Structure formats: structure tokens, C-alpha cells
Amino acid sequence: MNRLSLALLHYPVVDKHDEIYTTAITNIDVHDIARSAKTYGLAQYYLVSPITAQQELGKTIASFWIDGAGMSRNPDRSQAMELVSVQADLDGCIANEHALTHSEPVLIATSAKSSKKTTITYDDARGIIEDNLSTILLFGTGHGLAPSVIEKSHYLLEPIYGVAGYNHLSVRSAAAVILDRLTVDRA
Amino acid sequence: MNRLSLALLHYPVVDKHDEIYTTAITNIDVHDIARSAKTYGLAQYYLVSPITAQQELGKTIASFWIDGAGMSRNPDRSQAMELVSVQADLDGCIANEHALTHSEPVLIATSAKSSKKTTITYDDARGIIEDNLSTILLFGTGHGLAPSVIEKSHYLLEPIYGVAGYNHLSVRSAAAVILDRLTVDRA
């Protein structure tokens, strides 16, 4: 079966002035997106940060629920946390997918903003996921992925527009909606 | 235009042993769901708690972004927070809708679990929203809405099943997905 994974990047991302910066891993992003990843059948949830202390934090949060006191308290959470893989950068995610599938993963970037890069529709993305052994959906924290990541990606998914000319979803909400649109069969 | 609103109940909800309890308002629920409510064109986001100190907390969080220092820092957040209406109980939400529309709002409960009550599909729910002046979608914190709220509601929406036999989304993620399914036109 083809692998669909999600990578949450804490670097390189942009702040509200479109400057490149590094964000901190937040507990709520680890929990909410791990739960969504498990619900929508993802293969892996990559937490990406170049900062060693932040990588340790990500591992500590996940392992508390896998091996620690959290396991007996909430076994459902444990199943979600098992999807977490902490990586220093996007290349680490690509290498891991490559090791598992012996093929290059397809990278689909997400953004709430319009960009120079042409976007693909949700239907296009479903087809791409179906046709490839491994696909990684890339999400940026802060104010979104750095332009260099979007350029490097094979595709850019069209934004979630909502209905009101306002599209400022949290990354947790956006990830859930995108996974729902890409994986659930519609009647 | 018909009103679609969302109510996040902190009481009466159930804990993991299915006992009725009261949860605390969390900052992240206020922010994430207000942003989703604004993105998907909702009329109101009701924050429901019977505890006076909690109601004050909810009002303080929202007003910081409307009148306070948050307004200049992030005007987008201000637009989302303007949808927040703090209420002591579900009757307060109903009374507010009644005052605005001179009609009884339709209550659609949500749950991740199956229940005795027959569920409606997302298409059914779209039709109901279209046919009524005011509809309130009810979400429970903790481990979900108390059975009394589900019984009292006119309808119960079918759970989000995902694709992996695991459906433990956070209430923030579930709200975003349900609003996406109910409001965005599908190609």
C-alpha cells in the first residue's frame, strides 16, 4: 500500500513579516496532528526541527504516550503517537521514505497564501498519492513554509478558501481538513 | 441569509468513564475554533460554561483580540474573535438565536461515538441548514456531549470515521472538518 505522510516544519518557515525564522514545537501540534494522522490512515507524522533540544522535546512528548505513564492512561493516544518521527530537516524525512520504499517521495507543499507556483487541486493530489509509493504533505508552522520549501516541492496544493474570503485556519485545523479532503471517499 | 452557528459545550459533557462533568475553557479551543468559524462563514461561535469565572475568562480572551493589544497585533484574529459569544448554557444560545431570527434554532449534535439516536448524513445536514433560519452545531469538550444534550437535539450528525478504524480527532480538528464538509461546495 502507498504511503502518505505529513511533515510539520518548524524551519524554514516565515514570520508575519515574511522573514525566515524557526518556531518552537508545541505540545498541541504534536497531539492534534498525530490524532488526525492516525484517523486518516497516514504512515508517518514527521516533526521537523533543526534544534537538538527541540528534537528531544518532540521525542519526549511522543514517548510519554508510547512507553510512559500516558500509555495506560490513554492507549488511543499511544497509537497516534507511534506515527511521530522526529527529524532535523526535510532531507531526513526524504531519506527515511527512501529507505522504506526504495523510491523518491513526492513532496506536496501546502500554503494558505497564493504563490507564483501553480497549484494542484485536491483531486489532482488524490491521483498523485495513488500513483506513487510515497507522498509527503508539507505544512509550515508560524506564517507558513519558506518560499525555498515551496519551490523545492514537486507540487503546491491549492489553499483552503472556506466560504467567507477569510482563510486563517490554525495549522492543526488546516491539516485535519486537508487529510479529510484527500483520504475520505466522498459519497 | 440563514444563520449557522457552533456551540462548544463545557457542561454537560462526559469524562472517559462516561460520567457527567464540567471542563475548563482552553485558550486553544477559543482561538482555533473561532478561526475555523470565521473561515467557514459562521454567524456565531458560542462558548458555553455554567461557571462565572470561566465565562469571564472566555470574554477576556476574546476581547483582548477585539479591543485590546491583540487588535493591532493581529487584525485577522480580531475578526474571528468577534464571533465569540459566551453563554451559561445551551438555553442561552437558543434564546440569542430566537431573539435574532424570531424562530427556534435547529440543534444538530455531533459525536465521535455511535449512539441510540439515528444519525443524519452530511448531505442531510446541508439540507437542514438551507431550510432553516438558524442552526446550531453542538460540540462537546472532554469525551463528548452528555446523552441528555444528544437526546434534546433535533438531529445527531454521523461521526467522522476517517479511514483507519480510529476516530479520535481533537474537538478543534473535528469542528474544522465538519464545517468544511457542511459549508464548502464540492466539485
Size of interface A-B (CB pairs under 8 A): 115
Task: Name B143's bridge partners.
Answer: none
State the smallest CA–CA distance between residue B5 and chain A in angstroms. Answer: 14
Distance CA B96, CA A150 (A): 45
Question: pLDDT at position B18, please?
Answer: 95
- Higher-confidence residue: B48 or A70? B48
Question: Phi/psi at B45 (nearest 5 deg)?
Answer: -120, 105
Confidence class for position A116, pLDDT limits 50, 70, 90: confident
Instruction: Report the alpha-carbon distance of residue A157 to residue A101 in Å, rounded.
Output: 23
Closest in A76, A169, A175 to B168, CB measured: A76
> Residue A32 and residue B181: Cβ atoms within 8 Å?
no
CA distance B67 to chain A (A): 20
d(CA A145, CA A18): 10
Q: Tell me, what's the pLDDT at B19?
A: 98
Using CA coordinates, name the residue in chain A closest to B77.
Answer: A168
Q: Report the b/e string of A92-121 with b at 16+ CB within 10 A.
A: bbbebbeeeeeeebbbbbbbbeeeeeebbe
Q: In this predicted model, what pLDDT tens digit does every residue of B69-127 receive, in sequence order?
A: 888 888 899 999 999 999 999 999 999 999 999 999 999 999 999 888 999 999 999 99
Cell of B185: 461546495
Q: Maximum distance among all alpha carbons in chain A?
A: 49
DSSP A4: E
Q: Which three cell numbers stand for residue B57?
A: 475568562
Query: For residues B86 and A87, what is the distance between their CA atoms, to the nearest angstrom?
Result: 41
CA dihedral A34→A36→A41→A43, nearest 10 degrees, is -30
Residue B20 has pLDDT above 80, yes or no: yes
Q: What is the mean pLDDT of residues A18-40?
A: 97
Measured CB to CB, residues of chain B less than 8 Å from chain A are: 16, 28, 31-32, 35-36, 38-41, 74, 76-77, 79-80, 121, 123, 160-164, 166-170, 172-177, 180-181, 183-184, 186-187
Give me the helix-helix angle, A171-183 and B171-183, nearest 10°: 50
For B123-160, write each residue's pLDDT tens digit. Answer: 999 999 999 999 999 999 999 999 999 999 999 999 99
CATH for B103: 3.40.1280.10
3-state secondary structure of A175: helix
pLDDT band at A185; cut points 50, 70, 90: confident
pLDDT digits (tens, 9 = 90+) for B157-169: 999 998 888 999 9
Find the closest chain A residue to B112 by CA distance. Answer: A39
Closest residue of chain B to A164, computed from CA coordinates:
B41
CB B135 within 8 A of CB B3: yes
Q: Residue B47's pLDDT is what?
A: 98
The pLDDT of residue B187 is 55
Helix (H) or strand (E) holding A157: strand A155-157
In chain B, the residue whose alpha carbon lies closest to the alpha carbon of A43 is B164
Pick among B161, B163, B181 to test the A interface (most A CBs inside 10 A): B163
Task: Tell me: pLDDT of A140 over 70.
Answer: yes
Domain that residue A119 falls in: 3-183
Q: Is the pLDDT of residue A54 over 60?
A: yes
Give B178→chain A minimum CA distance, Å: 9
The pLDDT value given to residue A187:
55
Q: Among A162, A172, A186, whose Cβ lies nearest the Cβ of B172?
A: A172
Answer whether 0.95 is exceeded by the pTM.
yes
The total number of structural domains in chain B stands at 1
Burial environment of residue A166 by CB neighbours within 10 A (0 to 12, 13 to 18, 19 or more): middle
- Residue given cell 518532540 in the structure block: A58
- Res. A47: pLDDT tops 90: yes
From A35, A166, A172, residue closest to B32, measured CB to CB: A172
Q: What is the mean pLDDT of residues A82-106?
A: 97
